[in-house]
Chains A and B, each alone.
Chain A
């Protein structure tokens, strides 16, 4: 007899016994297997005695009391645990996976925004995000410095754009740069003079760098955009330099009086306007040589922005380069000229620099003249500097000639 057959007979017998039949009846029905089935059925019966045992009532009560205590302790433990742990225990795996996916998306977005550059979709977000800390900075000086820091970053972006073939020119960079410097200038107007002068010099420095980048412009449009930006940055520097100025009545009619008016004077005027900062055109080609005190203005423009060729021929001028450092505003001013009567408000570091003297022809606001600095052999029709040192009242970057 096979093992399987005996298994089947045993199974059937045990089912019948469970249904109420006796073991003897089962064995009688299977006499040929009785010898093997008998001990197995007896063992099954002995095992049935296990079923007679039950958990005693005392043990049952004790166990339930234990369970209640344990459940209460567990509830207390859960109640005292921290909120996020409770959240974790209630989170289903699906909710946890969703939360993790959202976190991942946020991290990826932040990473994408942080790594974005000019021309990228996320660049606008990066610009906006980077300005947030500056906007929240309390105090005018700190805010001005923070804004200058942001402007420096945009300037770096602009620099990379202009020197990289891969990156497209992005007007958002220029706008953000200008927003930074103009806000810095705005903040600076309420500061005491030393801080204001320093910030003005830093703004002027940035304006100068923008002007320098004009040389790397790949199209007329880019050049014009940079020129406009440079001009605005210089205006901001001047505003910062000037500080809170109460409006003065403008002299009537053409005058040789220097003026602080931001409005551009006619090109033909001989009024040497007192401008603490050079126009973009003046600094576009500034070389280290031009940064030194140069009494003789050059009338030999070496470079000019596109479209200004005619002007550069006729508007020689001397435009010293602003050389203001980060902490030591050292714009090399030119003297206000003989007609300059209103020395700048600041103790500019110009006491040792005689300045180039008056400029009798106004280059206007545009990049008309791009002087190459002091040139003894200059054939400039402009007057040689005859004015004395403007003195301590001269502002940094003071430049004779009308300001654009």
Chain B
């Protein structure tokens, strides 16, 4: 579980990023990278791709931050929503490209597995991630975000509600529907 990101942090970092402060962008990366990484990993099931895509999210931040309008009423929430939106777009691009041509060949896959300390365990985890990410792709975006916030990052209903700009009741309903769908999909397998 991660410490909550405060509005003050965001109110300091975003204007600095807009001024072109490289240190501020790195600060933003430190603050959000793992959260974004969990989301991307949940959707791709690929550790290395998730790391690359997470870096890409912040590269896009550099390109577009000067146009970003910070919601001063809920600064942290507005920044996270923006970052997840960028991540969602990058994941969609990733899946589109992957459908056209597989990015990892059999030989490369074997090499990665053999490089791990425990190849069989690594392969198992990889398989579990693949299944999970495949099932998560069947959820709606709101359901996916609730799953990542609640179960990857360990947010409470109140935190997730504030993070995603929804009510706690909505968060409960979304998590129930998401879990039910995942049970159905993964249980069927």
A196 shortest CB reach to chain B, Å: 66
Q: How many angstroms between the C-alpha atoms of A50 and B58 in the bound complex?
A: 21
The answer to whether B26 touches A47 (Cβ under 8 A) is: no
Evaluate whether A40 and B180 lie within 8 angstroms (CB atoms) in the complex, with A47-B147, A62-B55, A71-B22 already known. Answer: yes
Query: What 0/1 pattern do residues 11 to 25 of B give for CB contact below 8 A with A?
Result: 000000000101001
Evaluate whether A53 and B20 lie within 8 angstroms (CB atoms) in the complex, with A11-B172, A48-B151 already known. Answer: no
Interface residues on A, range: 35 or more
Question: Does B176 interact with chain A (Cβ within 8 Å)?
Answer: yes
CB-defined contacts of B176 to chain A, threshold 8 Å? 3, 6-7, 10-11, 40
The answer to whether B26 touches A67 (Cβ under 8 A) is: yes
Select from chain A the residue with minimum beta-carbon distance to B48.
Answer: A59
The answer to whether B151 touches A44 (Cβ under 8 A) is: yes
The answer to whether A67 touches B59 (Cβ under 8 A) is: yes
The answer to whether B172 touches A7 (Cβ under 8 A) is: yes
The answer to whether B151 touches A67 (Cβ under 8 A) is: no
Select from chain A the residue with minimum beta-carbon distance to B38.
Answer: A50
Q: How many angstroms between the C-alpha atoms of A70 and B25 in the bound complex?
A: 10
Select from chain B the residue with minimum beta-carbon distance to A89.
Answer: B66
Select from chain B the residue with minimum beta-carbon distance to A50.
Answer: B152
CB-defined contacts of B25 to chain A, threshold 8 Å? 67, 71
Question: Does B34 interact with chain A (Cβ within 8 Å)?
Answer: yes
Q: How many angstroms between the C-alpha atoms of A3 and B26 in the bound complex?
A: 44
The answer to whether A18 touches B154 (Cβ under 8 A) is: yes
The answer to whether B157 touches A43 (Cβ under 8 A) is: no
Question: Does A75 interact with chain B (Cβ within 8 Å)?
Answer: yes
Across chains A and B, the number of contacting residue pairs, with CB separation under 8 Å, is 111
B126 shortest CB reach to chain A, Å: 11
Question: Does A68 interact with chain B (Cβ within 8 Å)?
Answer: yes
CB-defined contacts of A59 to chain B, threshold 8 Å? 51-52, 54-55
Evaluate whether A64 and B29 lie within 8 angstroms (CB atoms) in the complex, with A50-B38, A51-B151, A59-B55 already known. Answer: yes
Of residues A46, A55, A59, which shows the largest number of chain B Cβ atoms within 10 Å of its Cβ? A55
Q: How many angstroms between the C-alpha atoms of A39 and B183 in the bound complex?
A: 7
From A14, A55, A62, A75, B20 is in contact (CB under 8 Å) with A75
A34 shortest CB reach to chain B, Å: 14
Evaluate whether A15 and B157 lie within 8 angstroms (CB atoms) in the complex, with A10-B172, A10-B175, A53-B38 already known. Answer: yes
Question: Does A56 interact with chain B (Cβ within 8 Å)?
Answer: yes
The answer to whether A67 touches B62 (Cβ under 8 A) is: yes
Question: Does A60 interact with chain B (Cβ within 8 Å)?
Answer: yes
Chain B: residues with CB nearer than 8 A to chain A?
Answer: 1, 20, 22, 25-26, 29, 33-34, 37-38, 41-42, 47, 50-52, 54-55, 58-59, 62-63, 66, 128, 132, 147-148, 150-154, 156-157, 171-173, 175-176, 179-180, 182-183, 186-187
Q: Which 9 A-B pairs have the closest CB atoms?
A: A47-B151, A63-B55, A11-B172, A71-B22, A59-B51, A50-B152, A7-B176, A51-B152, A40-B179
14 pairs from A and B in contact (CB 8 Å cutoff): A10-B175, A11-B172, A14-B175, A40-B183, A44-B179, A48-B152, A48-B154, A50-B132, A53-B50, A63-B58, A64-B29, A71-B20, A71-B25, A75-B20
Chain A: residues with CB nearer than 8 A to chain B?
Answer: 3, 6-8, 10-11, 14-15, 18, 39-40, 43-44, 46-51, 53-56, 59-60, 62-64, 66-68, 70-72, 74-75, 78, 89
Q: A50-B41, A53-B47, A66-B59 are in contact. List 8 more A-B contacts (CB 8 A).
A: A7-B172, A8-B172, A10-B176, A10-B179, A67-B55, A67-B59, A71-B20, A72-B22
